[in-house]
Structure 1
Amino acid sequence: MRIAISADDPNGLDSVVSPHFGRCPYYILVDVEGQEVKDVRAVNNP
């Protein structure tokens, strides 16, 4: 499962969560399998 989190900076799981999903500067994408985090990456909001 992939989870997208709106963020104010590109610091992965240490990022500050942005309250504006559509206007945030970054998204943190977290890939999870079962109870395990497989991948974390930051992408710019286009």
Structure 2
Amino acid sequence: MLKLKLAFMTIYHSIASQIHLSKPTFKKVENLLLEEVSYQIIIL
């Protein structure tokens, strides 16, 4: 489960660094992603 979450975060951070998101947007997207990942893990 944790490995899955780490994989999502790694992918997300690589995408975010390429896009060069501003900090507020970055945080918002990060929170949304974490919610999504948590939701997926609960389903599994």
TM-score bracket, shorter-length normalisation: under 0.3
More strand by share: 1
What TM-score results when the alignment is normalised by the length of structure 2? 0.20
The higher radius of gyration belongs to 2
Name the structure with the higher helix share. Answer: 2
TM-score normalised by L of structure 1:
0.20
Q: Which has the higher contact order (CA 8 A, sep 6+)?
A: 2
